[in-house]
Amino acid sequence: MKLRTLALAVAAQLLAGLAVAGGATAAGGPATSAAHAAPPGAKDVIVQLFEWNWPSVARECRDFLGPRGYGHVQVSPPQEHVRGQQWWVAYQPVSYRIESRKGSRAAFAAMVNTCHNAGVKVIVDAVINHMTGQEQPGTGWAGSGYSHYDYPGTYQWQDFHHCGRNGNDDIVNYFDRHEVQNCELVNLADLDTGAAYVRDRLAAYLNDLLSLGVDGFRIDAAKHMPAGDISAIKSRLSRPAYLVQEVIYGAGEPIQPGEYTGNGDVHEFRYGRDLGRVFRHERLAYLRNFGEAWDYLPSGQAGVFVDNHDTQRDGGDVLTHKDNAIYALANAFMLAWPYGSPTVMSSYGFSSRDQGPPSDASGRTLDSTCFSSGWRCEQRWRVIANMVGFHNTVRGAAVAGWWDNGNNLIAFGRGDKGYLVINDEDYAVNGRWYDSALLAGRYCDVIHGDIVNGACSGPVITVDAGGWLTANILAHDAVALHAGARVG
């Protein structure tokens, strides 16, 4: 494992500084019907505001996401769900009423409108594989009664798979395609998505969301539905919508992510795990051909992330906000590197895997206040927010001039639009010259400063007529320059 020295704490302060909006400061923490090559539009970065309530999402779209160049916001499931404080209650639907602990139908519609007015499109996390996992009858958040296989007015026993395996219908063997797609994921009542009635009902739910202005869907647990079933549901949608599907890669398993690319984009789960492993244990020089050469999905059909709400709870090599500087560096790389459509995670702090978002006694989600009350707001960390601007500026430009020291100092450009240097060594690298393709001029280092009205609040680096620049870079730190952040 790489040695982490006192320089890490210094880098954490520099890299995880806030991209300040409205005077916010840090407190105790880091300041379509066809498959798309990327989410539609010139700004393709998605931010996952995990378990934010609707008024908070609306404010974030208006005050920060739109102004800082985020193109899409992914919101948590909006349908009525079981009661409880855990995060996963939102993933156990009781009905398709748009009424949840995150807000009412009216609040949801207002949020979509506000985000659109800010230039931000809305992607909904859609739970269409299953209903609840509760054995005892109960009452959902909005008052709907239910039991495990009976949802009055929506589904009854015959609308679910009953696979008859393993004594409880649960999935045990992930090397058996039939079991994975016809048995129950952790006891969740598994919908028969091959049935016309179920397909019609699911499409009606998604069409209701489309009628409220939603722009796309993340299909939760897509691996547990045949790709053809998702295609049939998609064919029933009232208008084109962006789709990204959750299909977790498993070595040697019969169900592979590539099966689903005909429906839309697919999450490439190997990306975040491998990136975390390289940053934690290996050499950044290995990232020279990161992407399809690593047997990943084609770039134009891959949704990528450093972490998401599941992987940050699973441990292993995945990096999370708890990793501070190294996490910021990994996000900087993701936003600068031309593979896949990137999603930035926005978390709340948790001490146990099941812990839900900051809530009141009834379970209603509290307003998100960045950098307080548990809300981590990684999308506002200066390095991440400013690298969204970098990403938008260099979009479409090829990698140029890769250089590395054979270990953990790497540098590369994106045509003449941007240039990134990451020093993940345990020592500073001072006085070195870097050969970029940038046009001559003075550039704001957006890792450490913001560009406002042509002026930079941080270091300014000069690029000479030959594209050369020199920089002093602390251990576990970086420098990023782009054409949209020239000074003067």
**Among all residues, which ones are annotated catalytic?**
220, 246
pLDDT of residue 21: 35
- Tens digit of pLDDT per residue, the chain (488 long)? 443 333 333 334 344 444 433 333 222 233 333 344 346 567 999 999 999 999 999 999 999 999 999 999 999 999 999 999 999 999 999 999 999 999 999 999 999 999 999 999 999 999 999 999 999 999 999 999 999 999 999 999 999 999 999 999 999 999 999 999 999 999 999 999 999 999 999 999 999 999 999 999 999 999 999 999 999 999 999 999 999 999 999 999 999 999 999 999 999 999 999 999 999 999 999 999 999 999 999 999 999 999 999 999 998 999 999 999 999 999 999 999 999 999 999 999 999 999 999 999 999 999 999 999 999 999 999 999 999 999 999 999 999 999 999 999 999 999 999 999 999 999 999 999 999 999 999 999 999 999 988 899 999 999 999 999 999 999 999 999 999 999 98
Asked if residue 404 and residue 347 are part of one domain, the reply reads: no
Residue count (the chain): 488
Looking at the fold, whether 456 and 312 belong to one and the same domain comes out as: no
Amino acid at 488: G
Residue 187 and residue 60 share a domain:
yes
* Count of the separate structural domains present in the chain: 2
Q: Are residues 417 and 370 in the same domain?
A: no
Nearest CA among 99, 57, 50 for reference residue 78? 99
The overall pTM is greater than 0.85: yes
- Could you tell me whether strands 409-414 and 441-444 are parallel, antiparallel, or unpaired per DSSP bridges? unpaired
Residue where one domain finishes, among candidates 333, 359, 394 = 394
Find residue 245's DSSP bridge partners.
219, 266
Query: Residue 1: inside a domain, yes or no?
Result: no
231 and 123, same domain (yes or no): yes
Tens-place pLDDT, residues 333-365: 999 999 999 999 999 999 999 999 999 999 999
- Residue 411's DSSP bridge partners are 403, 421
In angstroms, the first-to-last Cα distance of the chain is 43
- Domain coverage including residue 386: 6-394
Same domain, 13 and 132: yes
| Angstrom distance (rounded) from CA 335 to CA 318 | 17
Q: Is residue 470 helix, strand or coil?
A: strand
